[in-house]
Amino acid sequence: MSRLQVVSGKGGTGKTTVAAALALALATEGKRTLLVEVEGRQGIAQLFETEALPYEERKIAVAPGGGEVYALAIDPELALLDYLQMFYKLGSAGRALKKLGAIDFATTIAPGLRDVLLTGKACEAVRRKERSGRFVYDYVVMDAPPTGRITRFLNVNDEVAGLAKIGPIHNQAQAVMRVLKSPETAVHLVTLLEEMPVQETADGIAELRSARLPVGRIIVNMVRPEVLDAADLELVRTVPRSSVARSLSSAGLGGARRGGHAERLVDPLLTQAEEYAERYALEHEQRAVLAELGLPLHELPLFAEGMDLAGLYALARELREQGVS
Amino acid sequence: MSRPDPAHTHDAARPHLAPARLLDIDPLLQDPKTRIVVCCGSGGVGKTTTAAALGLRAAERGRKVVVLTIDPARRLAQSMGIDSLDNTPRRVKGIDDSAGGELHAMMLDMKRTFDEIVEAHADPERAAAILGNPFYQSLSAGFAGTQEYMAMEKLGQLRARDEWDLIVVDTPPSRSALDFLDAPKRLGSFLDGRLIRLLTAPAKLGGRAGMKFLNVGMSMMTGTLGKLLGGQLLKDVQTFVSAMDTTFGGFRTRADATYKLLQAPGTAFLVVAAPERDALREAAYFVERLAAEDMPLAGLVLNRVHGSGADRLSAERALAAAENLEEPRIVDQEGGKAVLRNSPDTQDSSTSPTPETPARAAGPASDGGSPAEDAEDAEDTEGIEDAQAPGSAERSVDQLTAGLLRLHADRMQLLSREQRTRDRFTALHPEVAVTEVAALAGDVHDLAGLRAIGDRLAADERELPDPSAMPGASA
């Protein structure tokens, strides 16, 4: 099992939720995981129903069996100062750089550097050891940028290593790439059973593979339960309206005659069934597309009432049962 | 399609809803004074599709429109009849141009836009030096953030060309779409900043009055940067920055102008969201941020709103009825049916004579029961079966009907959830006008699909056009 688990996906597919559930799942049975947020949206704090996370590794949840989940929202500015500190012990010089706008420059104007810092920080957490030689975190789960940017994001250190051909930055960049391109890392993609996210997933996988970054699993999120099966949908097309009206009436929903309560329900209900049928067909197509990508495929259920802490634990359980952790 | 479109009756689903101000799209699009429409919102809410649909609608109402998209799905480009969009606006064919409008579309190519600025503002020799600089190549190829600057630059360019009546902009899918607004300020402050002077001419600084105290710090800094970045990279960065400084000298002026353009009355911001908690939370953030920046917000586009043609049947009753169809034995024994019959909603003259429908007894619920119960089931139904002889066909109709009712219950729960989320937003931001776009079952593939979205964007749902004219509406 890779120790750095990167979770990406198209916007709106719930990658933060999946990353959080994965961190919980991996923490089960006494393990310690670090959940890293890089996009500064405080999505993790919202999910775990805590106040905004500072730039500090902080315990936010316990997993069944005594495991612990820590979370870290990486602030690029502070990460840069960290980084300078790490290499040069630049206490006051760091502050001077900040005054000059160098920190702003590094973290916003040259956004490539921002990505360097974010990936660097995550890899540092992966490699960090206690005095005893044991890893501080058994797993690091990263709530990463969306699919469209993930390859570039993870590969940024390759470019940096190419730009800075010698020196500590070069070495650091290479060290990060060694982690990211090794089996220590797995990049998972979250998708929905819809055309655009599935297309983006396929494109993202191709990009990751051509950059020789290790692709992990596809996680299909928010899968709706099957209410009507193929046989039902077949019947929807042929069933006489009057039979449905009679059936509704027998269930206590009013009269089956023309204009009766039950009779007036038939059209709207069948319309909804047709919409369902269309989506059902689309979902089947998309499942087939995903199956062809040749990666482990997992499905997580939709929580109709929206995601909360209980739902998060349920998803974590689901991930464990499916052998993701 | 003879069945009513759910969108028609959509408003009936929320009769008790305090009506938010209605966002009227057509007057906005048709007003010649509207020159720029900016669509912002979090990822995955249909922002790009909304931008394209607005562009098409405005063009078919006689305006000369260009849609600037940042990262459209391939399907969307194809839906506008363009295989691949590039950095130059392309005319979209197949629109209804009887009103004299035109639709053009382009996709932002960051590197190309960056290169063009360099080529336009530097002499050929210097331009070649910049374009060949490794630092430039890496930056311009588009890391997170560069997109925003270039989108801003492109918008300024398009507006300056004055070839179009209306520019519809889709903002980048960045971590915060309003990086778009911050971009010029940040770049401006960078270009005016001391760092750039340090990098471009560190030697000059020492001589300046009042800068002496910085001198020590400066040399330490350049020394540090040199060590940190490696000598060659520092040189590359210096070359790049100094080249950029001269090249982009006018950038700040242009960026400021674009920023002011966004605040001007000819601009309208639309915040796009889906009726989901996270998307609306982001939307609220955009609304607040736009207000803080004095940016003119036209309203909120709420995409993918669901409706139901049978919204008078509550989720609870639909579920109870479904159970009634699936587990008739329990209902019979507990007299559940009598209760249902007497409930005011079902007081239908034709109800009372309806005989016990035996088929209900054979619903799937009897599967998996204990043998004893199964036997009882069989006894219960036997006599009636003789009388009415329900075939397996009727049994499956009941099963199907139960499924239809469960589907409906799901839909009603979704409706009330969407309504709650929306209500929370309108309670916090009553000043924001809202238009709701009924959900399509499938994805948009062509101009007809975009047009259908445009219709939904513009229409008060009660006055929607004939659903048969709306492809994908309920098919």
pLDDT higher than threshold 50 for residue B426: yes
What is the distance in angstroms between the Cα of A120 and the nearest Cα belonging to chain B?
15
Q: Which residues of A touch B406 (CB under 8 A)?
A: 227
**Domain membership flag for residue A289:** no
Q: Note the helical H segments in A38-110.
A: 43-47, 76-88, 91-100, 102-104
The residue-averaged pLDDT of B190-203 equals 56
Q: What is the band of B36 on the pLDDT scale with cuts at 50, 70, 90?
A: very high
Q: Bigger pLDDT: B390 or B380?
A: B390
Does residue B272 share a domain with residue B128?
yes
Q: Bigger pLDDT: A318 or A91?
A: A318
Contact with chain B for residue A174, Cβ under 8 A: no
pLDDT higher than threshold 60 for residue A109: no
Min mean pLDDT across A21-25, A122-126, B39-43 is at B39-43
CB-based burial label for B56 (10 Å; 0-12, 13-18, 19+): buried
**Of the residues B375, B394, B412, which one is the last residue of a structural domain?**
B412
pLDDT higher than threshold 60 for residue B391: no
Contact with chain B for residue A137, Cβ under 8 A: no
What is the pLDDT of chain A when averaged over all its residues?
A: 88
Cβ under 8 Å to B: A residues 289-318: 304-306
The predicted structure's pLDDT at residue B330: 45
Total length of chain B: 475
Does residue A307 share a domain with residue A197?
yes
Structure tokens that stand for B398 in this block: 């009941």
Q: Which residues of B touch A232 (CB under 8 A)?
A: 399-400, 403
**Nearest chain B alpha carbon to A238:** B397
Give Cβ neighbours of residue A73 (< 8 Å, ≥ 6 apart).
Answer: A37, A40, A42, A44, A45, A52, A53, A54, A55
The predicted structure's pLDDT at residue B138: 65
Q: What is the band of B223 on the pLDDT scale with cuts at 50, 70, 90?
A: low
Q: What is the band of B174 on the pLDDT scale with cuts at 50, 70, 90?
A: low
Does residue B348 share a domain with residue B277?
no
Residue B340: give the domain boundaries.
315-412
Min mean pLDDT across B88-92, B418-422, B464-468 is at B464-468
Q: Do A162 and B413 touch (CB under 8 A)?
A: no
Does residue A188 share a domain with residue A111?
yes
Give Cβ neighbours of residue B354 (< 8 Å, ≥ 6 apart).
Answer: A246, A249, A250, A255, A256
Residue A106 DSSP label:
I
The predicted structure's pLDDT at residue A156: 83
The residue-averaged pLDDT of A116-130 equals 89
Does residue B247 share a domain with residue B277?
yes
Closest to A304 (Cα-Cα) out of B406, B320, B268, B21: B406
**Domain membership flag for residue B258:** yes
Min mean pLDDT across A26-40, A181-195, B77-91 is at B77-91
Instruction: Give the C-alpha separation, A60 to A71, whole Å.
Output: 6
Q: Which residues of B touch A255 (CB under 8 A)?
A: 348-351, 354
The predicted structure's pLDDT at residue B278: 81
Q: What is the band of B339 on the pLDDT scale with cuts at 50, 70, 90?
A: very low
**Domain membership flag for residue B1:** no
Instruction: Give the C-alpha separation, B433 to B8, whole Å.
Output: 21
Min mean pLDDT across A226-235, B100-109, B207-216 is at B207-216
Q: Bigger pLDDT: A299 or B179?
A: A299
Structure tokens that stand for A250 in this block: 């027998």
**Domain membership flag for residue B339:** yes
pLDDT higher than threshold 60 for residue A317: yes
Does residue A219 share a domain with residue A88?
yes
User: Across the interface, which of A96, A261, A279 has its CB nearest the CB of B221?
Assistant: A96
Reduced DSSP (H G I as helix, E B as strand, rest coil) percent helix, strand, coil of chain B, to 5: 60, 10, 30
The tally of domains found in chain B comes to 2
The residue-averaged pLDDT of B416-427 equals 93
The predicted structure's pLDDT at residue B207: 40
Q: Do A260 and B396 touch (CB under 8 A)?
A: no
Does residue A212 share a domain with residue A152?
yes
Q: Bigger pLDDT: B328 or B285?
A: B285
Does residue B276 share a domain with residue B338?
no
**Nearest chain B alpha carbon to A168:** B228
Percent of residues, chain B, with pLDDT higher than 90? 34
Contact at 8 Å (CB) between A126 and A138?
no
Does residue A41 share a domain with residue A187?
yes
Does residue A252 share a domain with residue A133?
no
Contact with chain B for residue A189, Cβ under 8 A: no
**Helix or strand holding residue B116 (H, E):** helix B110-121
**Of the residues B365, B393, B412, which one is the last residue of a structural domain?**
B412
pLDDT higher than threshold 90 for residue B315: yes
Q: Do A278 and B475 touch (CB under 8 A)?
A: yes
Q: Bigger pLDDT: B289 or B6?
A: B289
What digits encode the pLDDT tens for the residues A44-92?
998 998 988 888 899 999 998 889 999 999 877 777 777 666 655 555 6
Q: Which residues of A touch B135 (CB under 8 A)?
A: 163
Cβ under 8 Å to B: A residues 215-244: 227-228, 231-232, 235-236, 239, 243-244
Min mean pLDDT across A126-130, B129-133, B229-233 is at B229-233
Read off the CATH number of the domain in which A60 is found. 3.40.50.300
What is the distance in angstroms between the Cα of B21 and the nearest Cα belonging to chain A?
27
The residue-averaged pLDDT of A286-311 equals 92
Q: Which residues of A touch B417 (CB under 8 A)?
A: 304-306
Residue A241: give the domain boundaries.
230-277
**Nearest chain B alpha carbon to A46:** B278
**Nearest chain A alpha carbon to B408:** A269
The predicted structure's pLDDT at residue A19: 97
The predicted structure's pLDDT at residue B317: 96
Closest to A232 (Cα-Cα) out of B406, B411, B365: B406
Cβ under 8 Å to A: B residues 27-66: 42-45
The residue-averaged pLDDT of B365-374 equals 40
Contact with chain B for residue A89, Cβ under 8 A: no
The predicted structure's pLDDT at residue B240: 67
Closest to B195 (Cα-Cα) out of A114, A84, A101, A106: A101
Cβ under 8 Å to A: B residues 290-349: 308-310, 313, 317, 320-322, 324-325, 337, 340-341, 343, 345-346, 348-349
Q: Do B138 and A104 touch (CB under 8 A)?
A: no
Q: What is the band of B255 on the pLDDT scale with cuts at 50, 70, 90?
A: confident
Reduced DSSP (H G I as helix, E B as strand, rest coil) percent helix, strand, coil of chain A, to 5: 55, 15, 30
Q: Do B357 and A110 touch (CB under 8 A)?
A: no
The tally of domains found in chain A comes to 2
The residue-averaged pLDDT of A25-52 equals 89
Q: Do A275 and B441 touch (CB under 8 A)?
A: yes
Does residue B115 share a domain with residue B131?
yes
Contact with chain B for residue A273, Cβ under 8 A: yes
pLDDT higher than threshold 70 for residue B276: yes
**Nearest chain B alpha carbon to A89:** B224
Does residue B368 share a domain with residue B288?
no
Does residue A216 share a domain with residue A81?
yes
Closest to A173 (Cα-Cα) out of A106, A113, A116, A88: A116
Contact at 8 Å (CB) between A24 and A59?
no
Does residue A67 share a domain with residue A184?
yes
Contact with chain A for residue B420, Cβ under 8 A: no
Q: Which residues of B touch A84 (CB under 8 A)?
A: 228
What is the distance in angstroms between the Cα of B193 and the nearest Cα belonging to chain A?
7
User: Across the interface, which of A93, A101, A165 has its CB nearest the CB of B220?
Assistant: A93
Instruction: Give the C-alpha separation, B385 to B391, whole Å.
Output: 9
- CA angle centred on A96, ends A95 and A100, rounded to 5°: 120
Percent of residues, chain A, with pLDDT higher than 90? 63
The residue-averaged pLDDT of B330-345 equals 40
Q: Bigger pLDDT: B387 or B390?
A: B390
Q: Bigger pLDDT: A64 or B59?
A: B59
The predicted structure's pLDDT at residue B20: 67
**Nearest chain B alpha carbon to A283:** B442
Read off the CATH number of the domain in which B70 is found. 3.40.50.300
Min mean pLDDT across A102-116, A121-135, B43-57, B125-139 is at A102-116
Q: Bigger pLDDT: A160 or B233?
A: A160
Does residue B83 share a domain with residue B49?
yes
- Number of Cβ within 10 Å of residue B96's Cβ equals 13
pLDDT higher than threshold 90 for residue A265: yes
Q: Which residues of A touch B187 (CB under 8 A)?
A: 109
**Nearest chain B alpha carbon to A279:** B441
The residue-averaged pLDDT of B176-201 equals 61
Segment of A65-69, A321-325, B117-121 carrying the highest mean pLDDT: A65-69
Give me the residues paired with residue A314 across strands: none
How far CA A309 is from CA of A48, A49, A312, B420, B421, in Å, comes to: 6, 7, 5, 20, 18
Give Cβ neighbours of residue B144 (< 8 Å, ≥ 6 apart).
Answer: A111, A114, A115, A145, A149, A153, B174, B175
What is the pLDDT of chain B when averaged over all its residues?
A: 72
**Nearest chain A alpha carbon to B2:** A267
The predicted structure's pLDDT at residue A112: 64
Q: Do B410 and A227 touch (CB under 8 A)?
A: yes
**Domain membership flag for residue A291:** no
The predicted structure's pLDDT at residue A87: 57
**Calculated CA dihedral for residues B175, B178, B180, B182, nearest 10 degrees:** -110
The predicted structure's pLDDT at residue B352: 40
Q: Do B403 and A227 touch (CB under 8 A)?
A: yes
Q: Bigger pLDDT: B353 or B225?
A: B225
Q: Do A268 and B42 touch (CB under 8 A)?
A: no
Q: What is the band of B197 on the pLDDT scale with cuts at 50, 70, 90?
A: low
Test mutation, B239, B350, B392, B395, chain A, max A CBs within 10 A:
B350
**Domain membership flag for residue B214:** no
**Domain membership flag for residue B327:** yes
The predicted structure's pLDDT at residue B345: 44
Q: Which residues of A touch B180 (CB under 8 A)?
A: none
Percent of residues, chain A, with pLDDT higher than 70? 90
Contact with chain A for residue B443, Cβ under 8 A: yes
Does residue A147 share a domain with residue A32?
yes
pLDDT higher than threshold 70 for residue A130: yes
Contact at 8 Å (CB) between B113 and B87?
yes
**Of the residues B392, B412, B432, which one is the last residue of a structural domain?**
B412
Percent of residues, chain B, with pLDDT higher than 70? 57
Contact with chain B for residue A250, Cβ under 8 A: yes
Segment of B50-54, B273-277, B388-392 carrying the highest mean pLDDT: B50-54
pLDDT higher than threshold 60 for residue A108: no
pLDDT higher than threshold 70 for residue B324: yes
**Domain membership flag for residue B227:** no
